[in-house]
Structure 1
Amino acid sequence: MSVTAEVIDSLARLLTEQYVAVYRPDGVYAAGETAITDTVMPEQPNRVVCLTVYGVEESAALTDCAFAVQVRTRAGPDPREVAALDEDVFTVLHGLRHLALPTARITLARRVSTAPLGADTVGRLERTSNYRLLGHRPHARLEYEEPRP
């Protein structure tokens, strides 16, 4: 599994453990559930938390890295409903520290922006919140070359 997939999977499982929504890697959800999905916003169910990693910064010389994660939420036509879902995600992710992934460590997560997206084609309101996750991950070692005289 790639480190990007690990970030999505780990955040989805954490949100499930905190009862924000339900993550099923097979993507099969009941109509009344709040789903957690990876990158793609499905037509159903009505309530969704969609996680997308859209940027990764890495150092060429250090193990420091930063992941940008978009959390897109969707609920019904009442703006308070999608705002509450977004707030539930914020409560779990903002300030998150020391999340161990199989091949990386997230040392701090923080929300950097949030905005309403309006309604989808059937009137369900959406929001987006963007998070920055700082951490460390191993990288291939550069071969050392002797300096030429």
Structure 2
Amino acid sequence: MTTTHEAIVTGLAVLLDGEGIASWSPSGALTGPGPVIAMAAVPEAPDRVVTLTAYTVTDDPAFSDSTIAVQVRVRGTTDPRTTWATSGAVFDVLQAWTGDLGGVPVIECHRQVSAPLGQDGNRRWEQADTYYMQTHTPTRHRPF
């Protein structure tokens, strides 16, 4: 059974790949000219990567409304403009976006936080943006 987080992150990877922002491989292979999409953990290579991590912010106890946050962590090269360009392209697609991510209806999406992370040990620039997604996720005791 696919979890809500897995569905959202995978659906987001497919969306970003379809928009030409970053390359996604369902097998998890991190190949291509970059940036490539990784899940949860930031890999050491390649240089240009978009790492997606989902976590729950709130769940309504009675209705099927949840807020799922997705951290979009972008790493570029030693030129900070590579990070800014990728982060900006993601913002352009996701800000005020609505639709379906892996079977989960997203009623509204907006960036909540954007934080520069500086350079990593290899002097590659990083930035973390957190997007809040208002979702409709029925459960056994929250059918509406």
Residue 91 in structure 1 maps to residue 95 in structure 2? no
Q: Distance in 2 between matches of 1:23 and 1:56?
A: 26
- The change in CA–CA distance for 1:8 and 1:24 in structure 2 (over 3 A counts) is same
User: What are the residue-to-residue correspondences of 1:1-149 with 2, within 5 Å?
Assistant: 1-30=2-31, 32-99=33-100, 101-102=102-103, 104-141=104-141
Q: Distance in 1 between matches of 2:99 and 2:33?
A: 33
Q: Kindly state the Cα deviation for residue 29 of structure 1 after the two structures are TM-superposed.
A: 2.5
Moved more, 28-37 or 78-87: 28-37
Please tell me the residue identity of whatever aligns with 1:119. Q
Moved more, 29-38 or 66-75: 29-38
The 3-state SS of whatever aligns with 2:7 is helix
The 3-state SS of whatever aligns with 1:23 is coil
Q: Distance in 2 between matches of 1:28 and 1:121?
A: 23
What TM-score do the two structures reach when normalised by structure 2? 0.91
Greater relative contact order (Cα < 8 A, sep 6+): 2
Q: Kindly state the Cα deviation for residue 60 of structure 1 after the two structures are TM-superposed.
A: 1.3
In the other structure, the counterpart of 1:146 is: none
Please tell me the residue identity of whatever aligns with 1:112. Q
Q: Distance in 1 between matches of 2:131 and 2:15?
A: 15
Unaligned 5+ runs, structure 2:
none
Please tell me the residue identity of whatever aligns with 1:107. I
Please tell me the residue identity of whatever aligns with 2:60. S
Question: How many pairs were matched up?
Answer: 141
- The C-alpha deviation readout for 1:47-97, integer Å capped at 9, x for no partner, is 011011122421111011110111100000111111111001111111111
The 3-state SS of whatever aligns with 1:21 is coil
- Whether the aligned pair in 1 keeps the contact of 2:8 and 2:101 (CA below 8 Å) is no
The structure whose Rg is larger is 1
Q: Kindly state the Cα deviation for residue 30 of structure 1 after the two structures are TM-superposed.
A: 2.7
